[in-house]
């Protein structure tokens, strides 16, 4: 068999680390190129680019998952990593093509789905949670370190070197998959030919969402997830650009902010979440997380000074406990044969938000005319005065209107979550749910529906 050794979680971990380390290096250069390419409507165009990418990922993820069940994981790992990293060298060649290819690459930007299916193939049920946690922690670690490294190299040697380095790391990832990663799906589980039929239900991204209204408790949970994750998805798509353009953060400050926020989020989702779940219960943990999210978004919305952003970032880390707590509530209250259905609904809603949230935030920024005519350079005296002048102009209105809208959305989510009972049995019956969950896992896995679960730290979350 191709590859080095037998399939292991470490193969998946290295693939994830290299891909997101390459993209993390480009954090600071991307913010600069984005404003230089779209100087008039920076936030609107950023929202549209990220929104198209998110919607395409939502639509294509079930199909790619179903095809990987038939044709094997390795080929789709190669496909998703190649197309996800394809825009990187275009940043210096042609910025317009760079952003166009980023939006279209959403069709294949589902590396996490294939990696989690890979992990499910090679782990037992009792090992899977730890393996998923290792993959998520590796993703977080890559984004904690790489933006700072990219910002430093860009300041000392220029952005061109950063782009070349990111391209080299992406090529290394592709070579690693080709040479070292063995196939995890046993040959006996795959059809003999590539013409195996794929049913529409397996590839239908809305299949799980159609079951939302079948149980009132599930409906409450899904509405809570939608109202809370919609502003979160929009925030993560535009917030670092907001820090750079509006708040006058330097590239190094943005990288440090990402690192601190990532480390605090990891602590919150492990130690703090565990303590809260034991002390105040599952539902109260969800309500507390939503409360922190409201405070964080309101602080972002009204904050006009850099120190306010740092303080709100610490609160943002605490708000990251909400989704793990929701997933735990579902896993505890749903029947064993309903886990995949309900988790699939939540996953589908979050995927939909990944497309709608960035576009919504970009549109609100556009409505309130939150733009700059030239790129602020906080390191220079002229840049500092320009940022101050902009703050004085915006203080009469609201510095960050989309964040205030997000706070109102999460407040509605909090009111809905109050009606979720602490202990209940979810009942979402569907004769075809196992077939639908085949797009996330494979029948030979003891817990195939589990692959509908998302990592605690997702692609966009850090």
Express each pLDDT in 210-227 by its tens digit: 777 777 888 888 899 899
Residues 79 and 160 in one domain: yes
Residues 14 and 131 in one domain: yes
Residues 215 and 283 in one domain: yes
DSSP symbols for 388-433: HHHHHHHTTS-S-HHHHHHHHHHHHHHHHHTTS-SS--B----TTH
Residues 334 and 235 in one domain: yes
Residues 64 and 23 in one domain: yes
The answer to whether 239 and 362 are in contact (CB under 8 A) is no
Specify if 442 maps to a domain.
no
Tell me the torsion sign for CA atoms 269, 275, 276, 278: positive
Residues 233 and 152 in one domain: no
Name 321's Cβ contacts closer than 8 Å, sequence gap at least 6: 268, 269, 272, 273, 276, 285, 288, 289, 292
Specify if 462 maps to a domain.
no
Residues 228 and 108 in one domain: no
Confidence at 169, pLDDT banded by 50, 70, 90: very high
Tell me the torsion sign for CA atoms 451, 457, 461, 462: negative
Query: What pLDDT does residue 228 have?
Result: 92
Specify if 456 maps to a domain.
no
| Count of structural domains within the chain | 2
Helix, strand or coil, per DSSP, at residue 334:
strand
Residues 132 and 222 in one domain: no
Q: What is the CA radius of gyration of the chain?
A: 22
Residues 154 and 277 in one domain: no
Long-range contacts formed by 183-187: CB under 8 A, 24+ apart: 183/1, 183/2, 183/3, 183/7, 183/72, 183/73, 183/74, 184/7, 184/72, 184/73, 184/74, 184/118, 184/121, 184/122, 185/68, 185/69, 185/72, 185/73, 185/121, 185/442, 186/121, 186/444
Residues 267 and 181 in one domain: no
Confidence at 190, pLDDT banded by 50, 70, 90: low
Cα distance from N-terminal residue to C-terminal residue, the chain: 36
Provide the CATH number for the domain around residue 65: 1.20.1250.20
Would the pLDDT of 166 be above 90? yes
Residues 361 and 244 in one domain: yes
Specify if 30 maps to a domain.
yes
Which of 185, 202, 223 terminates a domain? The answer is 185
Specify if 446 maps to a domain.
no
Burial of residue 182, with CB atoms counted within 10 A of its CB: 0-12 exposed, 13-18 middle, 19 or more buried? middle
Owning domain of residue 274? 211-372+399-422
Query: What pLDDT does residue 435 have?
Result: 40
Report the chain's mean pLDDT, rounded to a whole number: 77
Specify if 195 maps to a domain.
no
Specify if 445 maps to a domain.
no
The token duo for 260 is 């601190």
Confidence at 187, pLDDT banded by 50, 70, 90: low
Average pLDDT over residues 66-75: 80
Specify if 204 maps to a domain.
no
Residues 63 and 179 in one domain: yes
């Amino acid at each position: 068999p191709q590859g080095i050794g037998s399939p292991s979680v470490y193969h998946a971990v290295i693939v994830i680390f290299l891909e997101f380390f390459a993209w993390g290096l480009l954090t600071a250069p991307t913010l600069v190129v984005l404003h230089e390419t779209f100087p008039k409507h920076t936030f609107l165009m950023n929202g549209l680019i990220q929104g198209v990418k998110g919607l395409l990922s939502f639509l294509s993820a079930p199909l790619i998952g179903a095809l990987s069940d038939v044709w094997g994981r390795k080929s789709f790992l190669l496909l998703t990593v190649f197309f996800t990293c394809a825009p990187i060298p275009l940043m210096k060649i042609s910025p317009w093509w760079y952003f166009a290819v980023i939006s279209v690459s959403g069709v294949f930007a589902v590396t996490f789905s294939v990696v989690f299916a890979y992990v499910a193939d090679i782990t037992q049920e009792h090992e899977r949670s730890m393996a998923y946690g290792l993959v998520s922690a590796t993703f977080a670690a890559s984004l904690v370190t790489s933006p700072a490294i990219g910002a430093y190299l860009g300041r000392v040697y220029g952005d061109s070197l950063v782009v070349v380095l990111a391209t080299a790391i992406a090529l290394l990832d592709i070579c690693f998959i080709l040479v070292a990663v063995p196939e995890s799906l046993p040959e006996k589980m795959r059809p003999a030919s590539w013409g195996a039929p794929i049913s529409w239900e397996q590839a239908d991204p809305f299949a799980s969402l159609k079951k939302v209204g079948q149980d009132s408790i599930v409906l409450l949970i899904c509405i809570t997830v939608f109202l809370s994750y919609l502003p979160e998805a929009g925030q993560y798509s535009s917030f670092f650009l907001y820090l750079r353009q509006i708040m006058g953060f330097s590239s190094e400050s943005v990288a440090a902010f990402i690192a601190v926020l990532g480390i605090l989020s990891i602590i919150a989702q492990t130690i703090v979440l565990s303590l809260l779940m034991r002390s105040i219960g599952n539902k109260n943990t969800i309500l507390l997380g939503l409360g922190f999210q409201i405070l964080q978004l309101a602080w972002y919305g009204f904050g006009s000074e850099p120190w306010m952003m740092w303080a709100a970032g610490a609160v943002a880390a605490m708000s990251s406990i909400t989704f793990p707590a929701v997933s735990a509530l579902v896993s505890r209250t749903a029947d064993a044969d309903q886990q995949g259905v309900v988790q699939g609904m939540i996953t589908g809603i979050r995927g939909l938000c990944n497309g709608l949230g960035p576009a919504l935030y970009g549109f609100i920024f556009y409505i309130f005319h939150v733009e700059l005519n030239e790129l602020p350079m906080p390191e220079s005296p002229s840049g500092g005065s320009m940022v101050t002048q902009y703050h004085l102009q915006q203080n009469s209105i609201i510095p960050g209107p989309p964040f205030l809208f997000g706070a109102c959305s999460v407040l509605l989510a909090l009111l809905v979550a109050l009606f979720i009972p602490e202990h209940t049995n979810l009942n979402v019956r569907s004769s075809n749910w196992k077939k639908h969950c085949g797009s996330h896992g494979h029948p030979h896995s003891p817990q195939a529906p589990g692959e509908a679960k998302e990592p605690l730290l997702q692609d966009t979350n850090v």
